[in-house]
Every structure is written in structure tokens, then in C-alpha cells.
Amino acid sequence: MSAPKTAGFSPRFPASNFGVVKLYNLDHVGIAVNDLDVAIADYFDRYGVEPNHRQVVVDQGVEEAMIPIGGSFVQLLGALSPHTPVGRFLERKGEGLHHIAYAVLDIDEALAHLAARGARLIDEFPRVGGSGARIAFVHPSDLAGTLIELVEHPDG
Ligand code: CO
């Protein structure tokens, strides 16, 4: 059974500081990598952690591997071709931090709030991400040069 989507709905994530947009977890950190297999092997070599999920997301032009760390994930992102957003990112900047994803209780509410504040949204409306979650991106020029992804999980 999924928990009700109300303030403080999860004992793991008390509503102490989740703000008006109801960010309740640092969901994942997306890191663009040149070679997904190499990056996975290096993470294992250095830190002894491994992905528990790996999948191609054609829509986003990526193959992603999710490494659980605490209640969050490191999301390693390989580009399916140079002509994808992550492919162009790698071309321009090389490997590195690509985006930060916050879990939100209600992505529609979050986007409406951000739009009302004049935030520069990449996605005005949510789309369906790799794991079936609803996601939306906010442009890095909006705040502190950081591409932000909002994630609403189907089960909260
Ligand atoms: Co992501």
C-alpha cells in the first residue's frame, strides 16, 4: 500500500524542511559518463557499490544505471548517441555532474508553483521517466547553474 501524500507522510522523510514545493528527498544525482560499463566498474572498484537497476531510456537518449546510496541514488548516465542532450553535454563539458533530482509529493503542484514564480521550466508538464515516475526538468539557467529534475514516484 502506498502512503498517503500528505505532509510528513513518510517516517523516513519527516516534513521538517520540505518547503512549499514539498521536496522530500534528494532522489538522485545524475552523472554523465563516457562509458557506462567503465563507470560502473570504477564505482565498484573505489566504493564497493553497484547498480541495482540499469535501463535504456530511449526518450531521453540515455542508458542509466542506478546505484543506491542511503535513501538516494547515484544515476550514471551514458549517452545513446552524440546527438542527445547527454551526448552534447559530454561533448561540451566532459564527464561530470549533470543534474540533481528532488523527489516531490505532487509534481503538478510543484510545476504550477515554479511557473508562478517565473522559473524557466524545460518541461511545463510532467513526462514519464525511466522507472515509471513522473518527471520534469528545470533549466540550469534558472537557479545556480544546476539542471534540476523533479520526480514524483507512483508509490510516493
Ligand atoms: Co535523473
CATH number of the domain to which 127 belongs:
3.10.180.10
**Least trusted range by pLDDT, from 19-23, 41-45, 101-105, 128-132:** 128-132
Q: In this structure, is residue 50 part of a structural domain?
A: yes
Angle at 26 between CA 131 and CA 79, to 5 degrees: 50
**CA gap 74, 59 in Å, rounded:** 20
Cα end-to-end span (Å), the chain:
10
Q: How far is the CA of 30 from the centre of ligand 1 (A)?
A: 5
Domain count across the chain: 1
**What's the gap in Å between 31 CA and the centre of ligand 1?**
9
Distance CA 47, CA 113 (A): 38
Tell me whether residue 1 is in a domain: no
Assigned domain for 53 exists: yes
What is the domain range of residue 116? Answer: 23-152
Interval 6-34: pLDDT, tens:
545 555 666 556 788 888 899 999 999 99
Tell me the C-alpha distance between 22 and 24, whole Å. 6
Q: Is 89 domain-assigned?
A: yes
Tell whether pTM > 0.75. Answer: yes
Is residue 119 assigned to a domain? yes
CA of 98 to the centre of ligand 1 (A): 9
d(CA 89, ligand 1 centre) in Å = 14
pLDDT tens digits along 49-75: 999 999 999 989 999 999 999 989 999
For residue 98, tell me if it sits in a domain: yes
Whether residue 14 lies inside any domain: the answer is: no
Residue 108 in domain = yes
Whether the per-residue pLDDT at 103 is higher than 90: the answer is yes
